[in-house]
Amino acid sequence: MIHVGDRLWLLTTPSSSYAVRLGDDDVPRCVHWGRPLTLDQARTLPAGREELPGEGGERFGVAGLQIRYADGVRGVDWRHLGHQVGEDGLVLRFADRHHPLEITLHYRVPPGGDAVERRTVLRNAGATPITVLRCDSAAWSVPARDDYRLSHVTGAWGAEFRLGRARVAPAETVLTSRRGHSGHHANPWLAVDAGDATEDAGEVWSTALAWSGSWRVTLERDQDDRVAWSGGFGHEGVTWRLGPGESLETPVFTGVYAPDGFGGASHRWHDHIRAHVLPDANRTRPVIYNSWEATGFDVTESQQMELAERAAELGVELFVVDDAWFGARTSDRAGLGDWWPNPERFPDGLKPLIDHVTGLGMRFGLWVEPESVNRDSDLYRAHPEWVLGQAHRRATEVRDQLLLDFSRPDVAEWAHAWLDDLVSGHDIAFLKWDMNRPFTEAGDDTWVPFVRNVYDVIDRLRAAHPDLLIEGCASGGGRADLGMLARTDQIWTSDNTDAAQRVAIQHGYGQIYPACTMGAWVTDSPNALTGRRTPVRFRFHVAMSGALGIGGDLRHWSGDDLREAALLVETYKRIRPIVHGGRMDRLGPCAVQYTRGDQVVVFVWRPSALEPATAPVRPRGLEPGAVYRDEDTGAIHHGAVLMSHGLPRPLPFDALSELTRLTRVG
Ligand code: GLA
C-alpha cells in the first residue's frame, strides 16, 4: 500500500512502514522505517537520513552517490521532477539543478509481500560523458536507539556463513566482495538491532542486495550516534562512464523490518524469497546424487553407472555427474572451455549414461563452469583474446584456470549456444553452474556487464527450458545472493560436507535463505575434508534440514548404512514439503523446527558427542490448547506442555541427532 502526502510518501507492508519526505532543498530523506504508521503519524516525524547520500554541502558521511561531471564538479544538487505510483511501486524522479543528470529512486512492495525493494537509476540526459564514481542501490537508516548491534555472516571456502553479532562500532564498517562474485568472506546481507533482539522478540532491520558480483555495503555509526548504511554493486574504485543518453541501473536492495526478533526476520526473508525471488519455490527439489566427492576427476562411464544404480536403490531422484565429464578434463589443469563429452570416458557420448540413469527412474544432471577456461583447452587455443585480462598485465591463474570475459557479447553468445545445445540435445534436467575463481585483471567496464551477461545467459536458458533446474555454486557457497536465487533453484552451500561443521554453516545460511535452496549432501565417513567419523543417521539428519543430496561413494558403504540411508530418504520425502514450504524456527544453535499447517518437524543435533547435556528443546509456535501426535511413537502431547517442557524424547546419550515428527490431531 502506498500513501501520498504533501511531499511525503508512505509504503506499508503487513508488519512495517517506510516513509520518505522531500525537504525544502528537494533532497529525499527517510522519515521512518519500522512499525506500521499512518500518513498522519508519519507527518509528525522529522526527516532523517538521506535516501541516497551524495557529496557536497554539509555531507561528511558515507556517500552512496558519487558523481563527477566533465567540468570537474562533483555531487548532486537535487531537484524534484515528480513521482509516479503504479504497478511498479513508487518512483521518485529527480535531476541535478545544473548538470544533465537524472536520478530515479524506485520503491516497491511486492504484491502481498512484507519487504521493501529499492533501486536507483541514473541517466545522462546531456551531450558529454558523466563519471559515476559510485552509485548505490539505496541507503537505509534505523530510528535512534541507545545502542546498535550488527548481525552478518563471514567465512571462507569450506567455512561459509558463520553468523557473527557485534556492537556497531562508532566508525564505518565495510562489508564487501572485491572478487567478482558475492563471495565466501561476506554475504550481501546484514541485520541491525538495538542490541536487545532475541530469536522471537525485539526489532530487527535487515537488508540484502540482489547482486552476484563485487559489492559494498558501508555501515556507519556517526557522531550523533545514529546508524545508517549504504550499499550497491561494485567495490571501491569500480567506476562507470555514463555516455550521453546512457543509463545505469542498480540491482535491487531489499529491506525487511521485523518487530519479532531474528526469527521473525528470517520468516519474512524466507517468505519473500520463496514468493518473490525464486523462479518457482513450489517445484519439488529432487533428492540428488552428486558424484564429486566419490570420483573427483576420475570419471568413467561404467563407474557412474554403478553409482547411479546404488543411488537409485536409495530413492535418489536425480543423478548428477560433477566435474571431469568433458574435454580433456582429467585434472583441474585442463579442459575447461571444451564442453563436449570426453571421448575416452564417454566413447558414445553421454546418451548411454543418461539412458541408464533415466532407466533407473532418475533424472540426469551435469556440472558446468561456463565462465572459466584452462589454458590447456581447445577453446583457449582458438580464442586467447576471450580471456578476462588487461594489456601488459600478467593473467593470474587461480586453480590453474582463467576467466572468460563474460562482459563480451560474443563470449556470452558462445556460452549460451553450447549450453542450449547441451540441454536441447540430451535429456538433462539439472545443471550445477559453478564459478571457481575470482576476477583478476578486470577493467572498469567489466565488473557489472560480466554479471549481467551471466544473468542473461541463465535467464535465456531457463526461458527456453522451463523445466531445467539450476544449482548455483562458486567453490561452494561463494555466490549465494538474491540475484542468483532469482534464476536458480538452489545453492551449493559449501564444499564442507562434514555434518558436524555444517550445522553452523546452515545456521548462518538459514538466517536469510530458505531451506528449499540449501543444497546439503550426505557424504562418506570419515569426511573427505576433515577426516571426522560420524554415523550415517547424523549425516542425514543434518542434510535433511535442507535440500537433500547424497555425495558419498556408495560403492563402499556398508549394507547397514545403505539400508538406513534408504529409510531416511523415504522419511525425507515425507517431510520435504514441511521443510521446504513451512516456517522455520531456530530452537538454538543446534536445533531447528519446520512447521506447515498441522505438521511439525524438529531436528536436534549434537555436533560433538562430548557436548554437555542441554535442556530439552522446546518447539515454538504450537497451539497451546491443541494435541500433537508423535509420528514415530504414536504418543500424544499437548502443545502447551511441549512448548513449556520440551520434546518428549530428549536426545539419547549415545546419539548425535534426533528427528521428531509431530502432527496436530485435535
Ligand atoms: C567446486 C565445487 C565443488 C565441485 C568442484 C569441481 O569446488 O564447489 O562442489 O563441483 O568445484 O571441480
Residues 518-541 have pLDDT tens digits of: 999 999 999 999 999 999 999 999
Question: Band of the pLDDT at 614, cuts 50, 70, 90?
Answer: confident
* Residue 611 banded pLDDT, cuts 50, 70, 90: low
pLDDT at 245: 98
270 touches 208 (CB < 8 A): no
Which residue's CA lies nearest to atom 6 of ligand 1? Answer: 323
Distance separating alpha carbons of residues 317 and 180, to the nearest angstrom: 34
According to DSSP, residue 524 is labeled: -
State which H helix or E strand residue 472 sits in.
strand 469-472
The CA-atom distances, in angstroms, between 430 and each of 69, 337, 466, 482, 523 are 47, 19, 11, 20, 20
- Give the neighbor-by-neighbor strand order of the sheet with 240-242: 65-68, 130-135, 240-242
On the question of pLDDT at 612 being above 70, the answer is no
Reduced 3-state DSSP string for 577-618: HHHHHCEEEECCCCEEEEEECCEEEEEEECCCCCCCCCCCCC
Query: DSSP states of 193-222 as a string?
Result: E-S---SSSB-EEEEEE--SS-EEEEEEE-
The whole-number pLDDT of residue 655 equals 86
Active site residue 495: yes
- By alpha-carbon position, which residue is closest to atom 1 of ligand 1? 475
Q: What is the number of other CB atoms lying within 10 angstroms of the CB of residue 424?
A: 10
Q: How far is the CA of 189 from the centre of ligand 1 (A)?
A: 24
Counting atoms of ligand 1 from 1, which one is nearest the CA of 432?
A: 10
Residue pointed to by grid coordinates 517442557: 645
| Cα–Cα distance, 202 to 536 (Å, whole number) | 39
CA of 493 to the centre of ligand 1 (A): 11
Q: Among residues of the chain, what percentage have pLDDT more than 90?
A: 95
In CATH, which of 2.40.50.140, 2.70.98.60, 3.30.420.10, 3.40.830.10 is domain 49-276?
Answer: 2.70.98.60
The predicted structure's pLDDT at residue 613: 62
Quickly state the pLDDT bin for 615 (edges 50, 70, 90): confident
Mutate to test the pocket of ligand 1, among 367, 400, 431, 491 (most ligand atoms within 8 A of CB): 367
Average of per-residue pLDDT across 82-105: 96
CA distances, 647 to each of 538, 589, 621, 624 (Å): 18, 16, 14, 14
Annotation marks residue 322 as catalytic? no
State residue 514's pLDDT score: 98
Question: What's residue 176's pLDDT?
Answer: 98
Q: What is the pLDDT of residues 371-430, one digit of tens each?
A: 999 999 999 999 999 999 999 999 999 999 999 999 999 999 999 999 999 999 999 999
432 Cα: distance to centroid of ligand 1 (angstroms): 9
Instruction: Give domain limits for the chain.
Output: 49-276, 288-580, 599-664
Q: Measured in angstroms, how far is the CA atom of residue 397 from the centroid of ligand 1?
A: 17
- Shortest-distance atom of ligand 1 to CA 476: 8
Answer for the pair 473, 372: CB distance below 8 angstroms, yes or no.
no
CA of 367 to the centre of ligand 1 (A): 9
**Of 475, 479, 523, best ligand 1 pocket probe by most atoms within 8 Å of the beta carbon:** 475
Query: Are residues 204 and 265 in contact, defined by beta-carbon separation less than 8 angstroms?
Result: yes
Taking only the tens place, the pLDDT of each residue in 329-383 is 999 999 999 999 999 999 999 999 999 999 999 999 999 999 999 999 999 999 9
H or E stretch at 469: strand 469-472
Measured in Å, residue 296 CA sits from the centre of ligand 1 at: 9
Three-class SS of 61-125: CCCCEEEECCCCCECCCEEEEEEEEECCEEEEEEEECCCCEEEEEEEECCCCCCCEEEEEEEEEC
Model pLDDT, residue 142: 98
CA–CA separation, 344 and 301 (whole Å) = 10
Q: Which residue is catalytic, options 96, 114, 338, 495?
A: 495
Could you give the angle at which helices 301-314 and 351-359 cross, rounded to 10 degrees?
20
Give the residues surrounding ligand 1 with Cβ less than 6 Å away.
292, 322-323, 367, 434, 436, 473, 475-476, 492, 495
Tell me the residue length of the chain: 666
Residue 422: predicted pLDDT:
98
Q: Over the stretch 21-79, which tens digit does the pLDDT of each residue have?
A: 999 999 999 999 999 999 999 999 999 999 999 999 999 999 999 999 999 999 999 99
Q: How many H-runs (helices) and E-runs (strands) does the chain carry? A: 13, 37
The CATH number of domain 288-580 is 3.40.50.720: no
In ligand 1, the atom with minimum distance to the C-alpha of 367 is: 10
The percent of residues in the chain predicted with pLDDT above 70, rounded, is: 99
CA distance 323 to 434: 10
- Are the C-beta atoms of residues 663 and 598 closer than 8 Å to each other? yes
pLDDT of 608 over the 80 cut: no
Q: 157, 184, 288, 292: which to mutate for ligand 1, most atoms within 8 A of CB? A: 292
The residue whose CA is least distant from atom 2 of ligand 1 is: 475
Three-state SS for 352-418 is: HHHHHHHHCCCEEEEEECCCEECCECHHHHHCHHHECCCCCCCCCCECCEEEECCCCHHHHHHHHHH
- Please pick, among 434, 489, 524, 585, the residue that the annotation labels catalytic: 434
pLDDT of residue 649: 72
332 Cα nearest atom in ligand 1: 12
Given a contact cutoff of 8 angstroms between Cβ atoms, the answer to whether 565 and 314 are in contact is yes
CB 487 within 8 A of CB 514: no
Read off the pLDDT of residues 196-253 as tens digits, 9 standing for 90 and up.
999 999 999 999 999 999 999 999 999 999 999 999 999 999 999 999 999 999 999 9
Of 521, 318, 336, the closest CA to residue 434 belongs to: 336
pLDDT in tens, 571-601: 999 999 999 999 999 999 899 999 999 999 9
Residue 324 has pLDDT above 80, yes or no: yes
**What is the model's pLDDT at position 654?**
77
CA of 476 to the centre of ligand 1 (A): 7
Instruction: Please choose from 160, 322, 366, 435 the residue to mutate so as to test ligand 1's pocket, defined by most ligand atoms within 8 A of CB.
Output: 322
How far CA 135 is from CA of 104, 239, 247, 248, in Å, comes to 12, 9, 12, 9
* Closest C-alpha to ligand 1, atom 7: 475
Residue whose CB lies within 8 A of the most ligand 1 atoms, among 298, 320, 323, 336, for a mutation test: 323
CB–CB of 130/239 below 8 Å?
Answer: no
For residue 475, give the ligand 1 atom closest to its CA: 8
Please provide residue 267's backbone torsions phi and psi, each rounded to the nearest 5 degrees.
-55, -45
Class level of CATH domain 599-664: mainly beta
pLDDT at 648: 78
The closest residue, in CA terms, to atom 12 on ligand 1 is: 323
What are residue 365's DSSP bridge partners? 320, 430
Question: Which residue, by CA, sits nearest to atom 11 of ligand 1?
Answer: 475
Peptide bond connecting 188 to the previous residue in cis, omega within 30 degrees of 0? no
pLDDT of 652 higher than 90: no
Ligand 1 centroid to residue 292 C-alpha, Å = 7
Closest CA to 246 of 364, 336, 159, 125: 125
Cα(649) to centroid(ligand 1), Å: 39
Q: Are 413 and 456 in contact (CB under 8 A)?
A: no
Centre of ligand 1 to C-alpha 407, Å, is 23
Nearest of 18, 75, 79 to residue 49 by alpha carbon: 18
Query: What is the number of the ligand 1 atom nearest to the C-alpha of 297?
Result: 12
Q: Which ligand 1 atom is the nearest neighbour of the CA of 473? A: 8
pTM comes to 0.98
Average pLDDT rounded to a whole number, residues 149-168: 98
CA–CA distance, 306 with 322 (Å, rounded to integer):
15
